[in-house]
A and B are shown apart, each in its own frame.
Chain A
Amino acid sequence: MSLVSIEAASSGGAPALPSRETLARAALAIAAGAAWLFFAFVTENWPDVGEWGRGPELALAAGGFGGALVFAGLLGGFFPRGAERLRRYTPWLLALGLFFTLWQATTAKFALLPQPFFPPPHALVEVFADDWPKLWESVVASIRLELLGFVAGALAGFVVGVSLGWSRAFGYWVHPVMRLIGPMPSIAWLPIAFFAFPSSFSASIFLIGLTTGFPVAVLTWSGVASVNAAYYDVARTLGASRAFLIFKVAIPAALPHVFVGLFMGLGASFAVLVTAEMMGVKAGLGFYLQWAQGWASYANMYAALLVMSLMCSGLITLLFRLRDRLLSWQKAEVQW
């Protein structure tokens, strides 16, 4: 087998047999490549039961990718470092290749899944290829609305939380209001908010802010309240002012709690974002989904869902990065 000779050549003359690991690594890469090649073959050569564009392009891309994987598997012996890195992805690539083949077969080729509700892969490719300007526009609109609402809500929640933890008078007035309004889903305000605000856009910022602000306020508050009293004693004996106690002791000590609130708030705010876009804001991915449904363009809906999940995941990742940066003093926690 050629692999053996490749391995032997790479190990500097001595004709050692490739290790079990090397063989398994190569086999996985080749299998993954084969799955993608098969996917390309099915896409190109089996006849479609309906009309979907961009089949040949998808087949070409999948075939190229599969070929590259097979090639990488064969040459892996020469580049152990690169092969090791690729090894991390090959099980997933293999599974994806099989999944795409199955998806292709059950939709475009045999229509086992009810049509037109389950479009084939190349229908999605067609959406991305032809409708990307509108999708891109929707993503930008969604991110803009989400960030405006999230940042405003997070700031307000943070300030409210710190004030609740620090000031009795503030707590007396704000705590009951927060207990009454906080737990209610912000979406319930939606009909009123669309009337009360000058535009559905500003109403949505308010709703997203409200959704984010509540968990941030509660967790910031509990974080500030649970700061080890000994920290204050230490700081006071060293000459700390009240401002120093708030900004240099209470807030840094509460920051891990604050981030829990931010994660909860961000997660919850996505639901409000999409709902608000579906209900009134004439832009964004939620609106795109709504619009695609109106035209019964199922491929567009799946494409929008995919983009939406990437966007949400990306925003969560950004928040994790921020946390890792600000809380680098903590022992390593979960890796997102």
Chain B
Amino acid sequence: MVSLAHDISTVPGVEIAVKDVSHRFDLEGAPLPVLDRVNFTAQRGEFVALLGPSGCGKSTLLRLVAGLEPPTQGGITANGEPIAGPDPSRVVVFQDPTLFPWRNVRDNVALGLEAQGLLKLRGARVEETLLLVGLEDFAKAFPHQLSGGMAQRVALARALVNDPDLLILDEPLGKLDSLTRLSMQGEIVNLWRRAGFTVLLVTHDIEEALLMATRVIVFSERPASIKADIAIDKPYPRHRDDPDLVARRREILGLLGLDASW
């Protein structure tokens, strides 16, 4: 699927190929299958939303793509190279901002550069990124002094400062109030359109997926397998009452077995 916003040859993103990935956890001796032969390829610069019922295995899939754990079966490649472990070119924003409470905003954002020993070389990126997410005035604030939306912005900046090829978002807006959520949806789309990285976004909000992504993958109940893979060829900014999107939403609700309740 080709993203509308970019010419594939010039974008800096990465191609992520998930090949026949199955995953099991060990739950008190009994195996708990979580992913069931998941197959998809996210092209460079694509914005892929992953939708599925709660507990089906979406976060697990993201952890595998991030390299935090190896899959039980199958393989994941980035630009054809197998993913063997975490790498700062693939960064994750979790549902909880998980800022380090002992570091102020600037030092939290600088975390990746510091860990990679690049702080001296690329320290200016920290200020730029703070400016990008509109938190330049809070550089010295500590996490406990921030609102939920601000904290999530810091988490976003902490990821973006590394100029990632892949941004992995695990329900990053899930805990925010609806107004903050709307504005941050727009911000993330703008950041992506400007920088051109690949995005994998897990969300439980169908509307959010339809407003933001170029492609929506719908998962079944646990163990998750792909139920549908839907391209959203719509220019930005999108409107929630666009008839095409409304039709798509009905379709997805049907796939999730929720059409009767809406």
A and B physically associate: yes
User: Interface residues, chain A, CB within 8 Å of chain B?
Assistant: 228, 230-231, 233-241, 244, 248-249, 252-253, 255, 327, 329-331
Interface residue? B261 (CB, 8 A): no
Which of B44-52, B90-98, B225-233 has 4 or more CB atoms under 8 Å from chain A?
A: B90-98
- Interface of chain A: mostly helix, strand, loop or mixed: helix
CB distance from A237 to the nearest CB of B (A): 5
**Contacts A239-B88, A239-B115 supplied; 14 other A-B pairs, CB < 8 Å:** A233-B98, A234-B94, A234-B111, A237-B67, A237-B87, A237-B88, A238-B112, A238-B115, A238-B116, A239-B162, A240-B115, A248-B115, A329-B101, A329-B102
Asked if A230 and B94 make an inter-chain contact with CB atoms under 8 angstroms apart, the answer reads: yes
Which residues of B have CB within 8 Å of A249?
100
Asked if A234 and B88 make an inter-chain contact with CB atoms under 8 angstroms apart, the answer reads: no
Q: In the complex where A233-B68, A248-B115, A331-B144 touch, is A239 in contact with B98 (Cβ < 8 A)?
A: no
Asked if B144 and A230 make an inter-chain contact with CB atoms under 8 angstroms apart, the answer reads: no
Which residues of A have CB within 8 Å of B142?
329
Q: Which residue of A lies closest to B94 (CB)?
A: A230
Interface residue? B158 (CB, 8 A): yes
Query: Of B91, B96, B101, which one neighbours A237 at CB under 8 angstroms?
Result: B91
Q: Which residue of B lies closest to A232 (CB)?
A: B68
Asked if A241 and B98 make an inter-chain contact with CB atoms under 8 angstroms apart, the answer reads: no
CB distance from B195 to the nearest CB of A (A): 17
Asked if A230 and B102 make an inter-chain contact with CB atoms under 8 angstroms apart, the answer reads: no
Asked if A230 and B98 make an inter-chain contact with CB atoms under 8 angstroms apart, the answer reads: yes
Which residues of B have CB within 8 Å of A234?
92, 94, 98, 111, 158
Interface residue? B86 (CB, 8 A): yes
Interface residue? B114 (CB, 8 A): yes
Question: Once bound together, how far apart are the Cα atoms of A244 and B86, in whole Å?
Answer: 14
Question: Once bound together, how far apart are the Cα atoms of A66 and B159, in whole Å?
Answer: 66
Which residues of B have CB within 8 Å of A331?
144
Asked if A231 and B102 make an inter-chain contact with CB atoms under 8 angstroms apart, the answer reads: no
* Top 7 A-B pairs, shortest CB-CB distance: A238-B112, A239-B88, A240-B115, A239-B116, A236-B86, A230-B98, A237-B86
Q: Which residue of A lies closest to B68 (CB)?
A: A233
Question: Once bound together, how far apart are the Cα atoms of A228 and B142, in whole Å?
Answer: 18
Q: Which residue of B lies closest to A327 (CB)?
A: B102
Which residues of B have CB within 8 Å of A244?
114-115
Which residues of A have CB within 8 Å of B88?
237-239
Asked if B92 and A239 make an inter-chain contact with CB atoms under 8 angstroms apart, the answer reads: no
Asked if B162 and A238 make an inter-chain contact with CB atoms under 8 angstroms apart, the answer reads: yes
Interface residue? B66 (CB, 8 A): yes
Query: Of B96, B104, B111, which one neighbours A238 at CB under 8 angstroms?
Result: B111
Question: Once bound together, how far apart are the Cα atoms of A230 and B155, in whole Å?
Answer: 13
Question: Once bound together, how far apart are the Cα atoms of A327 and B101, in whole Å?
Answer: 10
Q: Which residue of A lies closest to B99 (CB)?
A: A234
Question: Once bound together, how far apart are the Cα atoms of A234 and B168, in whole Å?
Answer: 12
